[in-house]
């Protein structure tokens, strides 16, 4: 995984999305990683038992032993919606109606387009993360360069997708929060709640302040494909580096 403690600075244009929204994003509750497996001394996935991951185990204190994911594996986690491991997602219709329950998507039709369907009662257009409070669009926009991506929210704002008018690009940490790190398939996300996710790179709103300082600089992305679920950076403006966008908003 990339070291997210490296300096991250937002470009001034990111102020358009609202300082309050970004500040809230960094103080809201965080998801767990989705990691429910532990690994023995020969790097084989095993159950997170005391012999392997316990305080005196062969590989103690592994991620799968703690947090929401461990509670879900033990049947001790209460959810508003559903999702793998410790994730808790609900379905949101284009008109803003939130549908909870462990299988909210049953009977709904995933709308990954840019316009509402003719059947409002089944028009599932977004997924709400009940842990962080973020609402994610099911639509994958792009590919496009980062400068175009920074204004990709405008069309969604005008259309009012899922009752939201404050759509924006996510921060690095927000986009990493929906990565399912224990996934053995691509893309590394709960595809039951994020259908049609492209196995590729997705832009974030944050610029990368480091070398190289060429081609307009770089911006952070998260990769939902090979080398799954990691963060990295790419040129903000280069035709060969166009990437996808999944918009987010922070609730009503």
CATH number assigned to the domain comprising residue 192: 3.10.100
Give yes or no for residue 67 having a pLDDT over 50.
yes
Residue 58 lies in a domain: yes
14 and 55 share one domain? no
138 and 242 share one domain? yes
51 and 158 share one domain? no
48 and 162 share one domain? no
Residue 109 lies in a domain: no
Residues 131-175: tens digit of each pLDDT:
999 999 999 999 998 989 998 888 788 888 998 889 999 999 999
Q: Tokens representing 158?
A: 């005008």
Give yes or no for residue 239 having a pLDDT over 50.
yes
Q: How far is CA 122 from CA 107, 126, 138, 195, in A?
A: 7, 12, 14, 15
Q: Residues with Cβ < 8 Å from 98, sequence gap 6 or more?
A: 90, 91, 92, 128
Q: What is the model's pTM? A: 0.82
Give yes or no for residue 25 having a pLDDT over 60.
no
Query: 38 and 64 in contact (C-beta within 8 Å)?
Result: yes
Residue 128 lies in a domain: no
16 and 51 share one domain? no
Phi/psi at 223 (nearest 5 deg)? -100, 120
Helix (H, G, I), strand (E, B) or coil at 128: strand
pLDDT band at 78 (very low <50, low <70, confident <90, very high): very high
pLDDT for residue 7: 32
- Domain termination residue (choose one: 78, 95, 114): 78
pLDDT band at 6 (very low <50, low <70, confident <90, very high): very low
Q: Which is more confident, 124 or 67?
A: 124
Instruction: Report the sign of the C-alpha dihedral through residues 77, 192, 165, 172, in that order.
Output: positive
Query: 204 and 172 in contact (C-beta within 8 Å)?
Result: yes
The average pLDDT across 83-93 equals 97
Query: 230 and 186 in contact (C-beta within 8 Å)?
Result: no
157 and 41 share one domain? no
Q: Residues with Cβ < 8 Å from 115, sequence gap 6 or more?
A: 159
Total tally of structural domains belonging to the chain: 2
Q: Domain range holding 61?
A: 32-78
Give yes or no for residue 45 having a pLDDT over 80.
yes
Strand locations in 94-229 (E): 98-99, 109-110, 123-129, 135-137, 141-144, 201-208, 218-223
pLDDT for residue 110: 98
191 and 238 share one domain? yes
Residue of 103, 95, 159 whose CA lies nearest to 124: 95
Residue 116 lies in a domain: no
Phi/psi at 91 (nearest 5 deg)? -95, 140
Residue of 137, 193, 131 whose CA lies nearest to 160: 137
Give yes or no for residue 11 having a pLDDT over 50.
no
Mean pLDDT value across the chain? 83
162 and 243 share one domain? yes
45 and 67 share one domain? yes
Burial profile 152-178: b = 16 or more Cβ within 10 angstroms, e = fewer: bbeebeebebbbbebbbbbbbbbbbbb
Q: Count the helix, strand and coil residues of the chain and give each as a percent rounded to the nearest 5.
A: 20, 25, 55
155 and 48 share one domain? no
Neighbours of 9 (CB within 10 A): 10
Residue 121 lies in a domain: no
160 and 202 share one domain? yes
Residue 214 lies in a domain: yes
**Element containing residue 53 per DSSP (H, E):** helix 50-53
């Amino acid at each position: 995984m990339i070291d997210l403690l490296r300096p991250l600075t937002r470009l001034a244009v990111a102020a358009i999305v609202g300082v309050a929204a970004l500040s809230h994003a960094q103080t809201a509750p965080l998801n767990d990683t989705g990691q429910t497996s532990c690994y023995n001394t020969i790097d084989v996935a095993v159950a997170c038992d005391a012999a392997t991951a316990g305080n005196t185990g062969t590989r103690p204190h592994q991620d799968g032993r703690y947090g929401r994911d461990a509670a879900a594996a033990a049947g001790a986690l209460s959810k508003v919606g559903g999702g793998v491991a410790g994730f808790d997602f609900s379905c949101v219709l284009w008109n803003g109606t939130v549908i909870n329950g462990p299988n909210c998507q049953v009977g709904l039709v995933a709308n990954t387009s840019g316009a509402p369907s003719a059947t409002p009662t089944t028009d599932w257009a977004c997924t709400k993360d009940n842990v962080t409070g973020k609402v994610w669009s099911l639509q994958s926009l792009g590919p496009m360069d980062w400068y175009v991506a920074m204004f990709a929210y405008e069309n969604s704002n005008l259309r009012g997708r899922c009752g939201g008018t404050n759509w924006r690009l996510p921060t690095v940490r927000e986009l990493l929060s929906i990565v399912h790190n224990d996934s053995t398939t691509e893309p590394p996300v709960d595809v039951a709640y994020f259908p049609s996710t492209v196995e590729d790179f997705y832009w974030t709103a944050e610029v990368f302040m480091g070398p190289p300082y060429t081609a307009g600089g770089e911006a952070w992305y998260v990769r939902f494909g090979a080398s799954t679920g990691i963060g990295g950076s790419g040129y903000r403006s280069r035709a060969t580096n166009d990437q996808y966008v999944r918009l987010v908003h922070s609730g009503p």
